[in-house]
């Protein structure tokens, strides 16, 4: 028999990992391996006495179930993955944390991949995750060329896209309407009497979120019949330090804008601090609005007008949707719009 004195045999075996296995527990508890497995996964279906013996044996010999083997056998990995551009942005870090908190209690772990706003890396990361048999995938990258898209659809696993609400989602989506965000800020600034406007966004073509906000802003200004806002772009996304350098170009020319919409708070904050250093009165000479409602926005002087985005909740809802889908339940609606909140403060 294999199980007769497994430990002794294993020590001499060439390939074994040296782990305490379920069979070792079974032997120690005087039951079959299957019963041990049941105690761990469906305790109700096992007799009280056997259950107790198994638990005692587990504690005694220090058994840690091998989830890799379990995943292979059951075809469920109990892992969900999330792909983000970077963790340096609090918006994304918050989403990862929300996802983690949503799935953790259900016994799931979170695999995190970063893309650095690069399509190629995103595809690689997605491929690797699929190879890991993740049970669900959250995408905050939003890049997804055709190849990645077909890869995902072929994988037949629950997928939730974050931030944007795509017209043709792979599967599920949770986010906010970026164009509406931009439009909302545009109406606010115009309502405050501003006519000469500017937008600062993220230059990389890959950041579709920033682009959507800028587009919503510009479209609204156009509809209102106002002059086309000046559009500036920061080299790196969300880098506060870049903002100072943008101040010059922004205010150059004969008719400088009286208000600027930044598609992210980082830039807005950098701009606001830079303006203060340079003695430019905010909002009198330049009104500034951002997006993200970072911790700082409320604390600055002047405090920053911004748009509140439920970043943590986005991850949380994404996790819940994935879990429901994994459990085979209906997920309605498949596209969840979390909405946003224009928070008017002193900077506009």
Partner DNA sequence: GTGAAAGCGCTAACAT
Partner DNA sequence: ATGTTAGCGCTTTCAC
Binder to DNA among 66, 124, 149, 233 (CB under 7 A)?
66
- The yes or no reply on residue 277 touching DNA (CB under 7 A) is no
Please list the alpha-helical segments (H only) found in the chain: 6-12, 22-29, 33-41, 48-61, 67-74, 90-103, 119-131, 146-155, 178-191, 208-223, 242-251, 265-277, 311-326
54 CB-near residues (< 8 Å, 6+ apart) = 25, 29, 31, 35, 36, 39, 46
Residues 19-48 that bind DNA (CB under 7 A): 19, 21-23, 31-35, 37-38, 40-41, 45-47
Integer Cα distance of 62 and 25 in angstroms: 9
- The yes or no reply on residue 127 touching its own copies (CB under 8 A) is yes
Task: Tally helices (H) and strands (E) across the chain.
Answer: 13, 12
Integer Cα distance of 162 and 312 in angstroms: 11
Closer residue to DNA (CB): 47 or 245: 47
Binder to DNA among 4, 8, 11, 14 (CB under 7 A)?
14
- The yes or no reply on residue 101 touching its own copies (CB under 8 A) is yes
Binder to its own copies among 52, 69, 224, 281 (CB under 8 A)?
69
Closer residue to its own copies (CB): 90 or 309: 90
Binder to its own copies among 7, 50, 61, 88 (CB under 8 A)?
88
Phi, psi of 96 (to 5 degrees): -60, -45
Binder to DNA among 52, 56, 72, 235 (CB under 7 A)?
72
- The yes or no reply on residue 130 touching its own copies (CB under 8 A) is yes
Token pair in block for residue 117: 């706003």
Residues 219-258 that bind DNA (CB under 7 A): none
> Which window, 10-18, 151-159, 168-176, 224-232, contacts DNA (CB under 7 A)?
10-18
Integer Cα distance of 333 and 152 in angstroms: 20
Residues 301-320 that bind its own copies (CB under 8 A): 301
- The yes or no reply on residue 77 touching DNA (CB under 7 A) is no
Please list the alpha-helical segments (H only) found in 176-310: 178-191, 208-223, 242-251, 265-277
Which residues of the shown chain bind DNA in the complex (CB under 7 A)? 10, 13-19, 21-23, 31-35, 37-38, 40-41, 45-47, 49-51, 63, 65-66, 69-70, 72-76
């Amino acid at each position: 028999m294999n199980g007769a004195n497994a430990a002794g045999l294993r020590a001499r075996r060439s390939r074994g990992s040296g782990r305490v296995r379920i069979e070792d527990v079974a032997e120690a508890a005087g039951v079959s391996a299957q019963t041990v497995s049941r105690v761990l996964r469906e305790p109700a279906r096992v007799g009280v006495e056997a259950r107790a013996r198994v638990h005692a044996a587990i504690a005694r010999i220090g058994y840690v179930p091998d989830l890799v083997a379990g995943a292979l056998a059951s075809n469920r990995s109990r892992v969900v993955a999330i792909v983000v551009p970077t963790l340096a942005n609090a918006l994304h870090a918050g989403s990862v944390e929300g996802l983690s908190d949503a799935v953790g209690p259900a016994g799931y772990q979170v695999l995190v991949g970063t893309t650095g706003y690069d399509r190629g890396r995103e595809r690689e990361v997605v491929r690797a995750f699929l190879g890991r048999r993740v049970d669900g995938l959250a995408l905050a990258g939003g890049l997804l060329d055709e190849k990645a898209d077909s890869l995902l659809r072929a994988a037949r696993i629950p997928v939730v896209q974050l931030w944007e609400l795509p017209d043709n989602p792979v599967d599920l989506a949770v986010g906010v309407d970026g164009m509406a965000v931009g439009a909302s800020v545009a109406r606010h600034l115009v309502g405050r009497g501003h006519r000469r406007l500017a937008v600062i966004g993220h230059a990389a073509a890959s950041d579709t979120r920033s682009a959507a906000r800028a587009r919503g802003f510009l479209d609204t200004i156009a509809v209102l019949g106002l002059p086309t806002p000046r559009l500036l772009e920061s080299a790196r996304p969300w880098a506060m330090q870049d903002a100072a350098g943008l101040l010059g170009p922004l205010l150059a020319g004969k008719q400088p804008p009286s208000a600027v919409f930044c598609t992210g708070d980082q830039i807005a904050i950098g701009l606001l601090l830079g303006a203060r250093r340079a003695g430019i009165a905010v909002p009198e000479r330049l009104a500034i609005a951002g997006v993200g409602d970072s911790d700082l926005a409320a604390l600055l002087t002047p405090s920053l007008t911004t748009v509140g985005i439920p970043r943590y909740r986005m991850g949380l809802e994404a996790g819940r949707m994935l879990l429901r889908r994994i459990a085979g339940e209906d997920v309605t609606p498949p596209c969840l719009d979390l909405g946003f909140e224009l928070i008017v403060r002193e900077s506009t």
